[in-house]
Structure 1
Amino acid sequence: MSVPTATLASFKIPAVTNEPMKSYAPGSADRANLEAALKQLRAQGPIEIPCVVNGEEVRTGIMEKQIMPHEHKTVLANYHNADEALVAKAIDGALAAKLDWENTPFNDRAAIFLKAADLAATKYRYKIMAATMLGQGKNAWQAEIDAAAEMIDFWRFGVKYAEELYAVQPPQNPSGTWNRTEYRPLEGFVFAVSPFNFTAIGGNLAGAPVLMGNVCVWKPAPAATYASYVVYEILKEAGLPAGVIQFIPGPAPEVVGQVLKHPEFAALHFTGSTHVFRKLWKDIGNNIENYKSYPRIVGETGGKNFHMVHKSANVATVVNNTIRSAFEYQGQKCSACSRCYVPDSLWPEIKKGLVETHSRVQVGPVDTFTNFMGAVINQISFDKIKSYIEWAKTDAESEIIAGGSYDDSVGYFVQPTIIVTTNPKSRTMTEEIFGPILTIYVYKADEYESTLELVNNSSMYALTGALFSQDRYATILGANKLRNAAGNFYINDKCTGAAVGQQPFGGGRASGTNDKAGSAAILSRFVSPRSIKEAFVDLDDFVYPSNLA
């Protein structure tokens, strides 16, 4: 089928604002609807999830299980893994769909994503939240801000930022000429690799390049397969043509191997571990002569995020923001607070506040709404976090002042753990843990400036960080000293919770390429601009005026 490309008007998209948050308060209709969705998904389980290639469901028989982290004997979904042959077919299918999709006018591409956002906000809201809660261990609030609000915001604001990007045109048009720029999709296909911890990230890793006219091969995280499949269902119902996104669960060696050796590989859109991202970058470099173009590499990886406290800080603000940032979603956010620097002048008050507040943190199944924390994602994660706790128990420079216990008999539960260390470069102050462990270093209050240097130079990561201060000069000094320590920097607020349309997200150093998800900047990475000059006046002669005698 040949897609028509006529543009009959210059369209203006509807006004875009952040999706309103629902509270799921006791007795509310929203809580009742979410509870019903949770029960329904349990009753239906385990669901069978296929690969989707060229719009067709493919069942390879190479099966894996997605379990419930808080109830690991219960299988939520059985999903089919792609093999090498199916990955190759998916790539070929994406490339076959490319021309019609990139020739589809922007208003039609935009309409699909705006409709998808509305579907996620209404018809699919409770289903995708329930899939995220049961499959990825999020409580209702964390599922709401991720699988509902953030994903909706990614799609709506993506359309807004694309419109703005397309509107960036040359400011000068000398007499007799018209200069313009078009933003072509990349030659080839985009490979999206999404993580387990945010359903919305999967929707954006595949969605952002596709919005700009690209085709995409999407490998979702195994532990987020069910919610990712719901994302695909939403986009399909919104009108996304077959083949534009190929949904390919599968083991990394088989999928990645087929993708990176293909000459039409055009871009990697990745969120995950620093180790994996570096390995992919090296593999891309080793294949560079095989590609038609230099592949774009866009990635957001790990973090060792900090809260830096000045002696003028408000104690209650520090305590509440630190507890929430360190322990919401079991510390499994790329942005979670993992290290905290507290002046000795405030330490007695802050310690008391942290211990008291910690005692109120409830841990348990996600479908018990009073629980603030659930289980960590899997056995591998549980064992890693457990090893850090056991290390801290034997380390002469570390003291556990709250938490420190764990139990994987029913689910992968780790109690929120607070460690105080006398060594600012101890393992738990410098290594990424990705779990509910917070380590605190108490510094001398009059050594604020040198401690800022310590914060800046103690980690290879630079994702998020927060400064708590009520002294404006101290705030200015801290913001300047920590300029490169975090791509997302917060003043008197926690280092988690970036919102699309408010704080574009991403960090530098070992934390990624800092292309800022939720902004026009990241969309620009998936287009290849073409400058066009059209002359309206004939050239009468080739000679320059200065050549005239």
Structure 2
Amino acid sequence: MKQLTTMWGSAISRSPLVQPTARVPTLVDRARRGIATGGHYVVPKPFNEPNFHYFKGSPERQKLITALKDLRSQLPVQVPARGGPTSSQAQKNAQPVSMPMPSEHGTVFAQYADASGSDVSDAIESALTAKLAWQDMPFTDRAAIFLRAAELVSGKYRYELMAATMLGQGKNAWQAEIDAAAELADFFRFNVGFAQEIYDKQPTINSHGHHGRTDWRPLEGFVYAISPFNFTAIGGNLISAPALMGNVVVWKPSPMSVYPSYLVHKILLEAGLPPGVIQLINGDPEVVTQKVFEHREFSALSFIGSSSVFRSLYSKAAEGVVSNRYRDLPRMVGETSGKNFHLVHPSADIENAAKHTIRASFEYSGQKCSACSRIYIPQSQASAFLDVMKRELNAVKVGPPEDFENFLGPVINQAAFDKITKAIDSANKDDQLVRVTGGTYDGSKGLFIDPTLYVSKTPDHPLFEQELFGPVLVAHIYPDAEFDDVLGVIDRQGGNFALTGAIFSNDQAAVRKAENRLRYAAGNFYVNCKTTGAVIGQQSFGGSRSSGTCDKAGSVNLLMRFTAPRTLKEEYNKLENVMYPSNL
């Protein structure tokens, strides 16, 4: 059997009856020639991926253990400078960069090739070359690729993705499940649904003889996506949101997540994504960013990471705008840091509030942008609250994610470990802080920090402002009668961040007061619920102030940022007279 190749580069079997010169028409070819099925298509309704819980003896736990062992046997995994079926001599000759395993820093988890400036330029041009065919592909066909990818994520690649996330990013089984399996599949499915909503937004009122339409164009150039280490799913969202709308993307993942990101890209290609549409590139962020920001067709930044890095990128883009370097005014879409809070009201269920606080502050070692790192406790309930915290934390285990009993794993790398432990050492000697639990760590084999809680003697300690991105929580105990005052304190504190916050209260008037007074203190606000764990389709995610542009991942709003709508008007009648009736 001979093979033909489509314009996407995929092989198609050809029988001997097919003439040698015949070319298999692509979907775009068929649409342009009018050879297409008719009808207005509606994509399937999205749904949240059901979670497995990995109970002892369960089939899913055994499958995950097998995947972990298989991945262990392949270490260090090799990742090219560019994902997909592209390779340059520079990639082949590049000195590999090694990424240690956070839970076992003597073991190299991944090695990736460092992209050169020419690799980056080639990736940009390859994306732009693919752009016309991709944006002209019918939406139903673009959607099918991401829906197919969701099935691959939740099925064929589920345990492989989870194993990569556990070993490479230090997540335990549950955290890997809700990230690399469930949330990634959710992003692909729900983004398709959000895109359908956008395309369905058309004028509903037309004058007699007139017809108005909206063409939801993609951006004219390319999108630059930068994803962080802490969520495999985030990378999938940063690239799928713009790509679904017909954009092409240059994707730079964090060095600490190069292998899971490589798997996500591999899955998309297997699902039918044309190779040029999303260009995965690994390397020095300065090199990649410089080439991107020099290019005339840079149209948008899609970023999740630290606030300081986002500010720097914003400034670089502004320089290009001022010098008239770009054809477009680049969209800056960012979700960044947080110094998130829990507020406990005197009426709260203290047991519930404490348990939620432990999960919010210490799951994934506090390395979620939504993690709680400051808490305000009423004086009448402080003793009871702290007793529950100490009791529950005594049962919490810290260690490698492959041991299913461990609740906390490592922090991501040596730099993070050094930053957090330096702050802990300082806090342990600070006479303005009372250590309740933790304040200890062990970096001899892995980068492990025990869950740490301090009570501050003053409400204005620097720990209420400093984002550590680790398992450190600071508490302020306030007089019950000063609940109204503490609302103002919460709003002012937090390093000028405004990402997530929560109140625990059984007094609805207090809940209403907090919601109103703290309206701008958090983009995601929770009642009797921890600050972590927004579910796509149920709570969109994103904050403002220094926490980002509040474009709300997991919503229609984010996808609309990657469109350049064109308004069209058509008239069916004729203009009979130049003069207005009032002129006659």
* TM-score calculated relative to the size of structure 1: 0.99
Q: Tell me which amino acid in the other structure corresponds to 2:531.
A: C
Matched residue SS, 1:287: helix
Unaligned runs of 5+ in 2: 1-6, 8-25
Is 1:166 the counterpart of 2:196 in the alignment?
no
Q: Which residue of 1 aligns with 2:276?
A: 243
- Stretch deviating more after TM superposition (55-64 or 529-538): 55-64
Q: Which residue of 2 aligns with 1:33?
A: 63
1:40-73 CA-partner distances (Å, limit 9, x unpaired): 0000111211133674144342311122100011
Say which of 514, 521, 541 aligns to 1:505: 541
Is the CA contact (8 Å cut-off) linking 1:49 and 1:229 kept in structure 2? yes
Q: Tell me which amino acid in the other structure corresponds to 1:464.
A: T
Is the CA contact (8 Å cut-off) linking 1:138 and 1:329 kept in structure 2? yes
Q: Distance in 1 between matches of 2:580 and 2:225?
A: 51
Is 1:450 the counterpart of 2:485 in the alignment?
yes
Q: Distance in 2 between matches of 1:173 and 1:537?
A: 13
Q: Tell me which amino acid in the other structure corresponds to 2:66.
A: A
Q: Which residue of 1 aligns with 2:215?
A: 182
Q: How does 1:62-81 map to 2 (within 5 A)?
A: 62-81=95-114
Q: Distance in 1 between matches of 2:95 and 2:394?
A: 45
Q: Tell me which amino acid in the other structure corresponds to 1:428.
A: L
Q: Which residue of 2 aligns with 1:24?
A: 54
Q: Distance in 2 between matches of 1:194 and 1:443?
A: 38
Say which of 82, 86, 89 aligns to 2:119: 86
Say which of 153, 165, 170 aligns to 1:137: 170
Q: Distance in 1 between matches of 2:112 and 2:156?
A: 24
Say which of 309, 327, 332 aligns to 1:276: 309
Q: Tell me which amino acid in the other structure corresponds to 1:522.
A: L
Q: Tell me which amino acid in the other structure corresponds to 1:526.
A: F
CA RMSD of aligned residues (A): 1.0
Unaligned runs of 5+ in 1: none
Q: Distance in 2 between matches of 1:282 and 1:215?
A: 23
Q: Which residue of 1 aligns with 2:554?
A: 518
Q: Distance in 1 between matches of 2:83 and 2:444?
A: 38
Q: Which residue of 1 aligns with 2:374?
A: 339
Say which of 212, 216, 233 aligns to 2:245: 212
Q: Tell me which amino acid in the other structure corresponds to 2:492.
A: N
Q: Which residue of 2 aligns with 1:45?
A: 75
Is 1:373 the counterpart of 2:403 in the alignment?
no
Is the CA contact (8 Å cut-off) linking 2:180 and 2:232 kept in structure 1? yes
Say which of 201, 224, 234 aligns to 2:234: 201
* TM-score calculated relative to the size of structure 2: 0.93
Is the CA contact (8 Å cut-off) linking 1:333 and 1:434 kept in structure 2? yes
1:265-293 CA-partner distances (Å, limit 9, x unpaired): 00000000000000000000011110001
Is the CA contact (8 Å cut-off) linking 1:62 and 1:82 kept in structure 2? no
Matched residue SS, 2:204: coil
Q: Which residue of 1 aligns with 2:497?
A: 461
Is 1:538 the counterpart of 2:574 in the alignment?
yes
Q: How does 1:80-119 map to 2 (within 5 A)?
A: 80-119=113-152
The alpha carbon displacement at 1:540 in A equals 2.0
Q: Which residue of 2 aligns with 1:123?
A: 156
Is the CA contact (8 Å cut-off) linking 2:251 and 2:280 kept in structure 1? yes
Matched residue SS, 1:56: coil
The alpha carbon displacement at 1:315 in A equals 0.5
Q: Distance in 1 between matches of 2:299 and 2:66?
A: 43
Is the CA contact (8 Å cut-off) linking 2:166 and 2:401 kept in structure 1? yes
The alpha carbon displacement at 1:172 in A equals 1.1
Matched residue SS, 1:391: helix
Q: Which residue of 2 aligns with 1:404?
A: 439
Q: Distance in 1 between matches of 2:95 and 2:575?
A: 66
Matched residue SS, 1:290: coil
1:411-449 CA-partner distances (Å, limit 9, x unpaired): 000011011101222121111010000101100011000
Say which of 62, 74, 86 aligns to 1:56: 86
* Matched-pair identity in %: 50
Is the CA contact (8 Å cut-off) linking 1:54 and 1:93 kept in structure 2? no
Q: Distance in 2 between matches of 1:423 and 1:378?
A: 32
Q: Tell me which amino acid in the other structure corresponds to 2:275.
A: A
Q: How does 1:434-445 map to 2 (within 5 A)?
A: 434-445=469-480
Is the CA contact (8 Å cut-off) linking 2:82 and 2:282 kept in structure 1? no
Is the CA contact (8 Å cut-off) linking 1:306 and 1:337 kept in structure 2? yes
Q: Distance in 2 between matches of 1:259 and 1:66?
A: 25
Q: Which residue of 2 aligns with 1:491?
A: 527
Q: Tell me which amino acid in the other structure corresponds to 1:543.
A: M
The alpha carbon displacement at 1:541 in A equals 2.3
Say which of 341, 344, 353 aligns to 1:306: 341
1:516-542 CA-partner distances (Å, limit 9, x unpaired): 000000000000000010111122222
Say which of 417, 421, 429 aligns to 1:386: 421
Pick closer, same or farther for the CA change 1:57–1:129 going to 2, 3 Å: farther
Q: Distance in 1 between matches of 2:393 and 2:550?
A: 33
Q: Distance in 1 between matches of 2:480 and 2:447?
A: 39
Give the paired residue count. Answer: 548
